[in-house]
Structure 1
Amino acid sequence: MAAELFDQGRSGAEIARMLGGSEESVRRWRRVWEESGADGLRRRPATGRPPKLDDAQVERVRAVLEQGAQAHGFEADLWTLERVGLVVERVTGVALSKASVWRLLTGRLGWSLQRPERRVVERDESEIARWIAHEWPRIKKGP
């Protein structure tokens, strides 16, 4: 879009208003456009370090994690970042930091943080319902 506007001879301020950018950005775009043409302004893939795990490894990790923590020798069936990191290293041979494990779980696997409900094992739902129906109204009324 910027290249078309440059071809039309529009001013930097006008282009900035039309595209919702700053005049400084438009000046930078114009320099690139003058040096490399419209191809120089095209979006490029994000640069940076490639992921440590390829897609096949991520799918293997997903399958292993879906088996549950107890299936991998942990006492409770609860995944923590440390436990997931250990399992990832066993399955793929790649050691990840806690931050990388978090990005793997939330980004590539699409999982979210889940906290277990804190309830006692001996909880009696029928007794709770009886108390709410009979005792609570009596207490609420007062003497």
Structure 2
Amino acid sequence: MRYPDGGGLTAVERARRERVRFQAAEMFAAGMRPPQVARVLRVSRKSAYAWHAAWRQGGRDALRSKGPSGVASRMQPGWRAWLARALEQGPAVHGWREDQRWTLARISVLVARRFHVRFSQPQLSRILRQMGFSVQVPVHRAAERDEEQVRVWREETWARVERR
């Protein structure tokens, strides 16, 4: 099963699934067999049998949610707030004056300088998406762009090249 960008189940979805397992525990306590529980709760028989085995060994508490799966991110909530502010300030404030674009490589260096932790670019991309940032395609214009020279090139130089 594929999950959205955040990965895994949300807290609401985990709670809903936990409630279903608790309903199953009540049914087991009332004497219902796993195939009946599976039919009533509209879950697979395999799940019902697994829940029944866990319930027999540890009671209702054995069916509690174990929380989100996977390793916890090293990106602390406080770091995320700092990173959001730093990104809002722009790259020039942090030493990148040649152009005004944030790249994953630059953001990775920024985080490493501040928190002494390296994130891979795909991991950093996921973190930024979770923070609400999206990929932006910048308008490719230099900060030092001279509109007069651009106009001259377009009208004179390009006109000569195009005639050939």
Structure-1-length-normalised TM-score:
0.74
Q: 1:100 is matched by which residue type in structure 2?
A: Q
Structure 1: gaps of 5 or more residues: 123-143
* Structure 1 residue 13, shift from structure 2 partner: 2.2
Question: Which structure has the higher relative contact order (CA within 8 Å, separation 6+)?
Answer: 2
Letter in 2 for 1:59: A
Which amino acid in structure 2 is aligned with residue 84 of structure 1? I
Q: Please, which of 57, 63, 69 is the counterpart of residue 35 of structure 1?
A: 57
- Uncovered stretches (5+) of structure 2, i.e. residues with no partner: 1-22, 148-164
Q: Distance in 2 between matches of 1:10 and 1:117?
A: 65
The answer (yes or no) to whether the contact 1:89–1:95 under 8 Å persists in 2 is yes
Paired positions, count:
121
1:46 is aligned to: 68
Q: Return the alpha-carbon distance in structure 2 between the equivalents of residues 83 and 17 of structure 1.
A: 54
Q: Deviations over 1:2-60 (max 9, x none)?
A: 10111222232221122221101100100000000001001121243222121112211
Equivalent residues in 2 for 1:10-89, closer than 5 Å: 10-74=32-96, 75-89=98-112
Counting aligned pairs with the same residue, the percent is 33
- 8 Å Cα contact 1:3/1:33 also seen in 2: yes
Give the corresponding residue for 1:141. Answer: none
SS of match in other structure, 1:49 = coil
Name the CA distance, whole Å, in 2 between partners of 1:104 and 1:27: 38
Aligned residues: CA RMSD = 2.1
Instruction: Name the CA distance, whole Å, in 2 between partners of 1:20 and 1:85.
Output: 46
CA distance in 2, matches of 1:6, 1:14: 10
Deviations 1:45-95 (A, max 9, x none): 124322212111221111111101222222221111111111111121111
